Amino acid sequence: MLRGVIVECPSCEARNRLPASRVKDRAKCAACKAAILPVRHPVALSSDADFDELVQSSPLPVLVDFWADWCGPCRMVAPELEKLAQSREGKLVVAKVDTEALPNVAARFGIRSIPTMVLFEGGREAKRIAGAMPANAIASQLSV
């Protein structure tokens, strides 16, 4: 059963569950009716199933940031990924995987250092980079 991804409303902060296959569409918040799609902020993935659904079903490329709360460079790159998500709205989905909360996902992709950013296209890994860097360097290295 597909669960969808949780998209937080930028207006009222309500959490809305949407099918990953609709991330390219336009959608409104169920609570306040403000626009919540296309996704313009990184999406936190909370389960292996949410990760699999987003990567497999998204009609857009998905950039996954593998990070952990205790990681200083991860905290440094977070605002850069926010900038990237906003500048690529409707063209790219930025997602975050906490390697402490989802160790199975991190292990599946051989994540050995963080932050590591993996670009998925059509459900498959296309490119990967590691380390904290500005949004323009991330975009340039991943060609997004």
pLDDT in tens, 34-55: 988 888 889 999 899 999 999 9
Based on the structure, what is the number of domains in the chain?
A: 1
pLDDT for the residue numbered 2: 58
Are 54 and 39 contacting, i.e. CB atoms less than 8 angstroms apart? no
Residue 115 lies in a domain: yes
Give the predicted TM-score (pTM) of the model.
0.89
| Separation CA 103–CA 105 (nearest Å) | 5
Active site residues: 71, 74
Helix orientation angle between 72-87 and 135-142, rounded to the nearest 10 degrees:
70
Domain coverage including residue 71: 39-142
Cα gap 109→24, rounded to integer Å: 25
CA nearest neighbour of 57 among 13, 1, 127: 1
- Nearest CA to 64 among 113, 98, 104, 87? 98
The CATH number given to whatever domain includes residue 98 is 3.40.30.10
